[in-house]
Amino acid sequence: MPAEHRLSRRVQFAETDLAGIVHFSQFFLYMEEAEHALWRQAGLSIAVPDDPIRFLRVAASCDYRAPLFFEEIFEVHIRIDAMGSRTIRYACAITRGETRIASGSMTVACVDIKASTPPKSIDIPVAIAVALA
Q: Domains of the chain, with CATH numbers?
A: 4-132 (3.10.129.10)
Asked whether the predicted pLDDT for residue 1 surpasses 50, the reply is: no
Q: 2 falls in which pLDDT band (50, 70, 90)?
A: low
Residue 115, pLDDT score? 82
**In angstroms, rounded to a whole number, what is the distance separating the alpha carbons of residues 46 and 126?**
15
For 74-128, write each residue's pLDDT tens digit. Answer: 999 999 999 999 999 999 999 999 999 999 999 999 999 888 788 889 999 999 9
Query: Model pTM?
Result: 0.92
For 16-72, write each residue's pLDDT tens digit. Answer: 999 999 999 999 999 999 999 999 999 999 999 989 999 999 999 999 999 999 999
Task: Annotate 65-119 with three-state secondary structure.
Answer: CCCCECCCEEEEEEEEEEECCCEEEEEEEEEECCEEEEEEEEEEEEEECCCCCCC
Q: 50 CB contacts (<8 Å, ≥6 apart)?
A: none
Nearest to residue 66, comparing CAs of 40, 103, 28?
Answer: 103
